[in-house]
Amino acid sequence: GKSLAETANETLAKSANTHKPTQLNTKETIQKKERKDPPKSPKGENSLAQEVMDYFNELTGSRCAALAPFEKALSTVKSKDQCYTAEELKLVIRWAHMNWGHSFKPENLCRMTRFDGYLSDALIWADGQGSNPAACPHEEIIKLWNEKFPSKAVSLHEWNRRRPAYRDLEAVWNGKTTQGNWRELKHMGMAFELISKSSLFCTRGDQPWLTLDWILNPKNWGSVYEQAINEHRERKGVKA
């Protein structure tokens, strides 16, 4: 017969797996390892839920691990066969974090009977806050910078909230364009393109202080970008 310890271990293993669909756990040790080191899956529903979960934990200082509430939200149809998006979930997380005034769990947020109301309130709040309804796509923006300025490339591993330029980039993202539109990724690509052709980079491009961090500093961003735009207009004027 089995020892008491073995029986207890089996019971624990079974209870640990209750959140998964009922299945024969013949490869328990492998599954346990996979839960610790989840494989990098393609951008399917699960990895999107993980992305939203990471965002939730970082913003709220939580350590939640159950993806089910976010998976449910991402697979809920809002209208015309369209499901809620990861960006919409992140916006609702930001709105709740700033407005609810108490800690909350993903399951409080992902009550699908109320989620539509949360989202419309969050969109109104974001617009009134002067905050871009889309979360700042840090990774994509850094990749754009690195493509444009390979000699001044930024390591994604070192790009996090502890770095002042991380917050500076969010401030730039939350500013509107000269046409009064919210910034999109293409606007950032255009800004980097113009800055790369500006006299600042043509004359000082080899200076070690001329970095993304320096450009994003609120003291510098406005003048650097404005100069780049004006010089671009002059070049177009000369060609015309």
Range of the domain at 96: 45-128
Instruction: Compare 94 and 145 and report the one with higher pLDDT.
Output: 145
Give the model's confidence band at 1: pLDDT under 50 very low, under 70 low, under 90 confident, else very high: low
Clarify whether residues 144 and 218 are in a common domain. yes
Residue 24 CB coordination number (10 Å): 6
Last residue of a domain, one of 95, 128, 161: 128
Clarify whether residues 162 and 107 are in a common domain. no
Tell me whether residue 96 is exposed, middle or buried, using C-beta atoms within 10 angstroms of its C-beta: 0 to 12, 13 to 18, 19 or more.
buried
Record the pTM. 0.49
Percent of the chain exceeding pLDDT 70 equals 78
Assign residue 81 a region (left: φ > 0; alpha: ψ between -120 and 50; beta: otherwise). left
d(C-alpha 227, C-alpha 233), whole Å: 10
Q: 125-142 pLDDT, tens per residue?
A: 777 666 788 889 999 999
Clarify whether residues 116 and 163 are in a common domain. no
Q: 18-54 pLDDT, tens per residue?
A: 444 444 444 444 444 444 444 333 445 578 999 999 9
Last residue of a domain, one of 101, 128, 155: 128
Clarify whether residues 110 and 149 are in a common domain. no
Q: Which residues contact 2 (CB under 8 A, 6 or more apart)?
A: 10
Please report whether residue 32 resides in a domain: no
**Domain count of the fold of the chain:** 2
Maximum mean pLDDT: which of 25-34, 35-44, 198-207, 230-239? 198-207
